[in-house]
Amino acid sequence: MGIGHDCGWRHVTEASQRPAVFLDRDGVLIEAIVWDNKPFAATSPEDVRIIDGAREACAELSSLGFLLVMVTNQPDISRGKISQLFVDQVNADIARKLSLDAVRVCAHDDRDACLCRKPKPGMMIEAGAALNIDLSSSVVVGDRWRDIEAGKRAGCKTVFIDYGYDEPLRSVPDHTTSSLRQAVFWIRDQTPSQRISECHKN
């Protein structure tokens, strides 16, 4: 796998490997809670709302041959604001409603010095190994700089959904758009038809 170097599209994917779309959770699959133009994660069940069009977007990505892997930082667990159980229940519900293939959660905060908290690429690399994912033909979709940086470090393409948060990007994504639906259009346009047919055969 081409981790950490040229992240151009590969036109020949090893037969046993699949591409994935790594989807951030808050702001990408469910609505982020926005205060003072800054995004926050859901802290109660009533905060959890699937973003309009997310079901259709996930179904389209799946039909293009991508595995769907949700990758989410949940530092409020480490901070004691929410429980691991709450996050697990919310994530299971999202995964069921959107037919996701896998979920990866980082429960740490910066002080924990883990390998998984985005912008570190640990969740993508671990899921990539576990699910036999070709990272170099995979895409990370996120709404914050940490998502984009993690995707770049993992050797994936990156799509930034720009909601105009009061938070600068720290690296340049491959594509910037305004919604998950628009992100899917770009991913579809970038996906070699040869690779799609290979994925469908496997």
Residue positions annotated with a catalytic role: 24, 26
Do the Cβ atoms of 126 and 91 come closer than 8 Å? no
Lay out the site mask for Mg ion across 27-66 (x = CB under 5 A, - = otherwise).
Answer: x---------------------------------------
Stretch that binds Mg ion, among 19-27, 58-66, 83-91, 162-170 (CB under 5 A): 19-27
Q: Which helix (H) or strand (E) holds 86?
A: helix 84-98
Q: Does 143 bind Mg ion (CB under 5 A)?
A: yes
Do the Cβ atoms of 141 and 20 come closer than 8 Å? no
CB-based closest residue to Mg ion:
27
Minimum CB separation of residue 172 from Mg ion in Å reads 18
Output 24 or 101, the one with its CB closest to Mg ion. Answer: 24
Output 1 or 30, the one with its CB closest to Mg ion. Answer: 30
CA–CA gap between residue 60 and residue 83 (Å, rounded): 32
Q: Does 24 bind Mg ion (CB under 5 A)?
A: yes
Q: Measure CA 130 to chain center.
A: 16
Which of 79, 98, 76 has its CA nearest to residue 87? 76
Output 26 or 134, the one with its CB closest to Mg ion. Answer: 26
Do the Cβ atoms of 97 and 55 come closer than 8 Å? yes
Q: For residue 131, what are the β-bridge partners?
A: none
Minimum CB separation of residue 87 from Mg ion in Å reads 14
